[in-house]
Every structure is written in C-alpha cells, then in structure tokens.
Structure 1
Amino acid sequence: MAIEVNGMSVETDENGYLVNLDDWTEEVAVKIAEDEGIAMEAGHWDLVKFLRNYYKEYQIAPAVKVLTKAVASEKGMDKKEASEFLYALFPKGPALQACKIAGLPKPTGCV
C-alpha cells in the first residue's frame, strides 16, 4: 500500500504504518492524520514530537501507560484526566493512532 504526499508515493503496510521510518515528514503526518479523520492541532503535534523523541531514545514506541504518565506529569493532570485527554486527541487509541501519525512502527504488547 502507499499514500500520496506532494506528488510522491510513500509506502505503508496493510495497517497504514510507514514501511520506511525515514519517509516521515510533517506533510506525511498530516496525510496519515487526514486518513484517520484527525485535523492536526498543537496538542497532536506535541504528542507526535514526544513519541518521535521517545522512539529515538529507546528504539521502541511507548505503551499507553507511559504516554499517560508523561502527559499527566507535563500537564499537571491525574492519570484519568491524562487518559481522557489522549483519547480525545486520538480516539482510536493514543498509542496505535498517534504512533502511526508519528511515523513509528505499530506498538507491540500492552497498548
């Protein structure tokens, strides 16, 4: 499968995740988000940047538990509020949907 971005074809797997992580650009993220029914706003970009930095450091996409804890800490929320905030941004699942938009591999394990 592939998506078209700025006249270029970007290869994705059957679930819409990038095959080559180096193909990611903000334009690719916007296209994937559109396909997911998401209009990217500041909160989305903040989480995408967090995910990309986390992946760069640990070579793995974080589980929802890690995302929730990070958001709670950063925004001064409790875990329930942070979870609701994440699901409001990425209704199909913060780890799965946000990682797809961030150009990261599909998270494994408990997502």
Structure 2
Amino acid sequence: MPTATYDGTSVPVDEEGFFTEAGRWTEPMAVQIAGELGIDTLTERHWTVIRFMRNQYAEKGTGPTVRALGKTSGVSVKELYQLFPKGPAKTAAKIAGIPKPRGCI
C-alpha cells in the first residue's frame, strides 16, 4: 500500500492519496495537504467543513456528498466551491484525512 508523509509522519494512503486510516490524521497535516492542493490558507470556514467531514465519517463511515455538505454543514454549496474550487467533497475529504466519499469520481 502506498504511503505519504505529512508533518514528518508517514501515513498509509490509497492510490489517489486519500488516507486509509483516518485516525492517523492531525490538524498540522491538513495544512500541508491543503497547500499541496493549492489552498494556501485554511480559514475558519475551511475548518468548519473539515471538522464536519471528519464527524460525518466517524458517524457514518463515509464523508458526505457535496449536496449533503451544502444542506447540513452550515456552509452553502456556492461557498463550498469557493473554499474548495477543485471539488468540495473530494478536496475537503483529502484535507480532512478521510477516505474519498462514496459517489465522488
């Protein structure tokens, strides 16, 4: 299985770079992952989505879709695309250290 190194720690990832063990993630890793994905600064709105993604994963075993994110995270779909322009659910999941949500291509 492939690995990636964030914040000096090697973590297992899948072939697309998503964490396979969400428990290995830390907030400093999120900052580094975001930078690699072209997001230079994680604002409080980013963190709202990231923490929501992690909570949903912990509760349901998968991250939410963009539609579910827009309806339940307190962040509108329009704002999600402003925060995570390359695909909100997929990008936020990667930064949040959870596997790719079902339904994401």
* Normalised-by-shorter TM-score class: 0.7 to 0.9
Matched, 1:3 2:27: no
In 2, Cα distance between the equivalents of 1:66 and 1:53? Answer: 13
Please state how far the C-alpha of 1:110 moved relative to its aligned partner.
5.7
Answer 1 or 2: which has greater helix percent.
Answer: 1
Give the number of aligned pairs.
Answer: 103
In 1, Cα distance between the equivalents of 2:7 and 2:72? Answer: 34
State the TM-score, normalizing by the size of structure 2.
Answer: 0.85
Give the corresponding residue for 1:89.
Answer: 83
Structure 2 counterpart of 1:3, one-letter code: A
- Does the 8 Å CA contact 2:53/2:64 hold for their aligned counterparts? yes
- What is the root-mean-square deviation of aligned Cα atoms in Å? 1.8
Q: Look up the SS of the partner of 1:107 in the other structure.
A: coil
State the TM-score, normalizing by the size of structure 1.
Answer: 0.81
Matches within 5 A, 1:1-111: 1-38=2-39, 39-71=41-73, 74=74, 82-109=76-103
Runs of 4+ in 1 over 3 A off after TM superposition: none
In 1, Cα distance between the equivalents of 2:21 and 2:57? Answer: 14
In 1, Cα distance between the equivalents of 2:18 and 2:59? Answer: 20
In 2, Cα distance between the equivalents of 1:10 and 1:105? Answer: 13
Please state how far the C-alpha of 1:17 moved relative to its aligned partner.
0.7
The Cα offsets for residues 57-107 of structure 1, whole Å up to 9 and x where unpaired, read as 111211111001124xx36xxxxxx22100000001111000111111111
In 1, Cα distance between the equivalents of 2:46 and 2:67? Answer: 18
Unaligned segments of structure 1, at least 5 residues = 76-81
Unaligned segments of structure 2, at least 5 residues = none
In 1, Cα distance between the equivalents of 2:26 and 2:57? Answer: 15
Q: Specify the structure having the higher radius of gyration (Cα).
A: 1
Q: Look up the SS of the partner of 1:108 in the other structure.
A: coil
In 1, Cα distance between the equivalents of 2:4 and 2:68? Answer: 30
